[in-house]
Chain A
């Protein structure tokens, strides 16, 4: 993959990648850091990618892992005010709080990844299994358990 195409594909997903990172770190600057670092890392290792169709998933996983690392290093509680910095001026407050709700559920990394791929990327469960290298049964189990948990979560109506 040439720089041109690599750049195109990254830019096309930049908002999703940022949202994915933000869902972990809940901090605009850290989320940007996570995306930048992950993209650089993926570029450096791009020659190892043999299945081009897995590029998006690989990129997303890299962003996730980077975001997790950053979160571990800088673990701080975010206030709603801080959270809102990533949102546009006239954002719906419910949307601002959304990441906070997801975070409170305490999902493991895989579940978090599955939810993001499902909703941010719009992937089917089969695609998630294939792209994220997680057995389909695991994807399904985690996904539906997460839905169950979320269905009981206050604030999601």
Chain B
């Protein structure tokens, strides 16, 4: 794709530039390592010239000119280090270049490996195979120029090996090649028992060895400089395995017990029989690509493949080669390993006969449908009481049948004796036509028990247009169709087409029965009935897709619908994990995914219809995950959560990224997989209030003052639709008290139940429940009389259809400043003052002045505690005064004045403050008033701003302290660090596959504890199916690790005992086990960061 091309391009450019940089940059010279640590201030780099001089020096030294050499080195600037006092060991002057790229014996890079490389390059060859064993350091004896002393070092040698290459002995020779080594020695073990030790040619040993696997350890010595008459040297061990197949195979005289072994000789291939009597040992060599013990090839006129041998292991076979069937006969040849062995042919996965022949395979393929078929050649050996066998699986891919427009004439099933058909029938479906053979319908009907279940009938693929049958319609007495095994014996063609149109995927046998009435040349009446069987393959048609296929919707066609809209997001490659048959290894690669997505489709969300995401499965299984990007990223949300999110989201455009994971082949118990990202945008352009459906119930109660309705009172409501509840939230409404204010119901007849609660704010500590509106109004009056500042009222009303919940506050005496009376509630309530911001004041239609500079004029800025979240109330204003709800909420850093977030509702501020650090933040609510009547004969147009401060004291969030509750204590107190998700390995029940989630969030709050000189004490509870400590990380203020990142609580406490003053960030990582599935636990990682202050 274009995007990946761009990404590859820049990556290639960078690689090239970095290579250029590495090539051109001067070698800084060897690092003379200051083993004494920071006490030494000098820098110990040696110039390359010194290194070069070292090489010269060696030559000089070898010639015995020690003194001259030393002087020469000093002259070039090498630092002189007192060998008696220095802890510095340099390696300059060493004979062998430490850049070992010339002698590397492994092809992988350094990262993550601990393989040692020797200065030897060893190869082992046998037959056509070559392996390159790794070398493992055993010991060294070297002269340290810095110390002026000889230093010995020891390694574990081959004892530490993890992966040992193996080679199959070809029965003739085993060649071992090496460079720059001496004192070569071989030790050979079988089943841990020494069987050989020496330095001779190993070919002789293995030629006479019994069957089995032998571990060979080749040891080498490498010689370095000669110093003071003694050579530096190092020893290395190179382990490898040799597999020997015996050539002493006995003739199998009796049938082996195993079901997998051939049972009769009569069914073996002719070629096998002719070679079966051979007693000469024929060693492989003809077909090098095959594997011992039998070198096998499968070929036709155009292609040869060499199946690998698997020890009775077709089920675990990998790299199964494929022969592309071209219609010509295939043949099989092999070199017999020795004597007689038993050969069987098998069609893999078939319940049919196990001991087929090459002829059977060819016959089978001639009539096979398009597809891939696996066959297995099995060789069975007996050694004494043991029966052992090797399977050689290979695939044959049949392609040509699909491309044949005129099908070949097929022979009929054996169970009938076809007569020369007197009528040819052509069946057409889509672009393909087939000509079924005709079979006389003896006895007046087809054989319903088998319904011609031979696979030797032509087939056709069903398409929606349906099938047509074409034949000479003269003299036809009757035509009927039968879908094999259906109870209904006579179908019309239309009925068959209708049936297949909605049929599930599969293969259907159709039989056309045609009865003809004709006369022969003598005028005799002839009544003939023929059956014409054929197969119809029904596949599920692909969903309609956008005709533009150029934008890379591969491999899953994603459809996003909302109401009447449908969009088709493009796919952007994210990652791949695939098995390379050629190399026999796994390959992983990454793409940029949706990072550079262009042409992202947009769909509008109006709050009504839900967003529906559909796709067709691909590969061996497809799974989707979703994330929403809008400032914060929401990862791994579900499809349901997407709709829930948008229902309550603010206006704007949101990016949804669907990550699609497609499984490929199952190899070694692991699926190949590819990941693709499909981005699309969701635009929300409807105001919140527009999502409220009009309900009769909605105006059920009103607040009126002296008969005038107070606007703005809208309930939260729920409707009962079966068992489903739909809930729409709504901010509380603030109403300023006016004389004669009462709460009334406008449709009393529908009210069956009222329950209201009055909670008095400020100085009037009374919470009362009322079961009628009259009682409620009395409470309002009483609160007013008692001097309450405000009362908070909730009213719950029910009838048979719905439930309504109202919440509103009545203010007694207006607080704050006109024209908008703002109330902000958190943990407590404040009434910010209004400050005009360049407001135009009109009087009698003329501008009289412009006033105010907004927040900069503010003198009294109240502070509210954030508590559980902020809510904002203000007196209801009509659109005339507050056009299009022009309200802006902003949050600033009180120190820098930087805007932290802003939005059209308080929600954005709450979202930010919810996870904000402790401290004071500046919030500003702005109203744009239009021609607002100030009740003093003037009108105003412009912004009024209401600044206030918010104090945030950290509290637990929904993400905090989950799922393990960690407690850290010392003499200075106890802290409870929050947990943050880092990654997971979960089983996706729907797709039946394991998925990784590696999307941890950055910590938003970090607890702090002062170090008291003693140990930190940790406590935590188990969660899930078990909790494990993954590691204790610790970093200083410069992010330097206090010790390697995977530590223990003991490591941590040991570190702090001697730690310098400062603040250290500690991470405690927990692994939580989930369900046990397929012998593997689901796992989650959670990190708990906290700071330790050492002072």
Residues of A within 8 A of B (CB): 2-8, 10-19, 22, 28, 31-33, 35-37, 39-41, 43-45, 48-54, 56-58, 61-62, 65, 68-69, 86-88, 91-92, 94-96, 98-99, 109, 115, 117, 119-128, 130-131, 133, 135-138, 140, 144-145, 147-148, 150-151, 156-157
Contact = CB atoms under 8 A, between A and B. Distances in A.
A126 B998 contact: no
Contacts of A117: 111
B21 interface: yes
Interface string B1-27: 000001101110111011011111111
B151 interface: yes
Contacts of A120: 18, 22
Nearest to B29: A14
Contact of B595 (A4, A128, A144): A144
28 contacts: A8-B91, A8-B98, A11-B31, A14-B27, A15-B27, A19-B25, A35-B28, A36-B31, A36-B43, A37-B38, A40-B33, A40-B40, A43-B37, A48-B1044, A48-B1051, A50-B1044, A51-B1046, A62-B1040, A86-B25, A94-B17, A109-B1039, A119-B14, A122-B109, A123-B111, A137-B983, A138-B1000, A150-B10, A156-B10
A141 B134 CA distance: 36
Most chain B beta carbons < 10 A, residue from A7, A15, A49:
A7
A144 B10 CA distance: 10
Contacts of A86: 25-26
B110 A56 contact: yes
Contact of B14 (A19, A40, A156): A156
Nearest to A91: B24
Given A7-B89, A65-B1039, A18 B593 contact: no
Contact of B33 (A10, A16, A51, A57): A10
A135 B1044 contact: no
B11 A50 contact: no
B1044 A49 contact: yes
Contacts of A6: 33
B1043 A48 contact: yes
Contacts of A18: 25, 28
The prevalent SS among residues of A at the interface is helix
B443 interface: no
Given A35-B31, A43-B33, A144-B595, A54 B140 contact: no
B98 A11 contact: yes
B100 A12 contact: yes
B7 A144 contact: yes
Contacts of A125: 590
Given A4-B140, A50-B1046, A130 B112 contact: yes
Given A86-B25, A94-B20, 18 more contacts: A5-B153, A11-B30, A12-B98, A14-B29, A17-B31, A36-B43, A37-B43, A43-B33, A43-B35, A44-B38, A58-B1044, A68-B1038, A88-B26, A91-B25, A121-B111, A135-B1000, A137-B1000, A147-B10
B670 to A, nearest CB: 15
A121 to B, nearest CB: 6
A2 B15 contact: no
- Give the top 10 A-B pairs by smallest Cβ distance, nearest first: A91-B24, A48-B1043, A119-B18, A123-B111, A44-B37, A11-B98, A127-B111, A40-B34, A151-B10, A18-B28
Given A95-B17, A95-B21, A133 B1045 contact: yes
A83 to B, nearest CB: 11
A41 B999 contact: no
B1033 interface: yes
A98 to B, nearest CB: 5
Most chain B beta carbons < 10 A, residue from A8, A58, A109, A115:
A8
A137 B1044 CA distance: 22
Interface in B737-761: none
Contacts of B1051: 48
A98 B1040 contact: no
B399 interface: no
Interface string B527-568: 000000000000000000000000000000000000000000
Contacts of A22: 25
A138 B998 CA distance: 8
Nearest to A3: B89
A151 B6 contact: yes
B596 A119 contact: no
B35 A40 contact: yes
B588 interface: yes
Most chain A beta carbons < 10 A, residue from B20, B22, B28, B999:
B28
B595 A3 contact: no
B982 interface: yes
A81 B943 CA distance: 56
B24 A33 contact: no
A33 B43 contact: yes
A58 B1035 CA distance: 13
Contact of B110 (A3, A94, A121, A128): A121
Contacts of A45: 1043
B44 interface: yes
Contacts of B9: 151
A120 B1047 CA distance: 28
Contacts of B982: 135
A2 B153 contact: yes
B103 to A, nearest CB: 12
Most chain B beta carbons < 10 A, residue from A28, A98, A99:
A98
Contacts of A150: 10, 14
B286 to A, nearest CB: 41
A94 B142 CA distance: 42
Interface string B99-115: 11000000001111110
A52 B160 CA distance: 13
Nearest to B30: A11
B156 to A, nearest CB: 12
B44 A36 contact: yes
Given A15-B28, A39-B33, A7 B1044 contact: no
B45 interface: yes
Contacts of A124: 111, 588
B592 interface: yes
Contacts of A19: 21-22, 25
Most chain B beta carbons < 10 A, residue from A18, A62, A88, A92:
A18
A15 B111 CA distance: 16
Contacts of A37: 38, 43
Contacts of A121: 109-111
Contacts of B112: 53, 123, 127, 130-131
Given A8-B98, A39-B31, A145 B113 contact: no
A43 B592 CA distance: 38
Nearest to A87: B24
A113 B11 CA distance: 16
Contacts of A56: 110-111
A145 B1000 contact: no
Contacts of A88: 24-26
B153 A4 contact: yes
Contact of A69 (B28, B111, B1038): B1038
Interface in B997-1023: 998-1000
Most chain A beta carbons < 10 A, residue from B26, B155, B593, B1047:
B26
A71 B155 CA distance: 39
B1044 A40 contact: no
A5 to B, nearest CB: 7
Interface in B36-53: 36-38, 40, 43-45
Contact of A144 (B17, B44, B110, B592): B592
Nearest to A123: B111
B26 A87 contact: yes
Contacts of B109: 121-123
Contacts of B89: 3, 7
Given A39-B33, A121-B110, A157-B13, A133 B18 contact: no
Interface string B651-678: 0000000000000000000000000000
Contact of A16 (B22, B588, B1038): B22
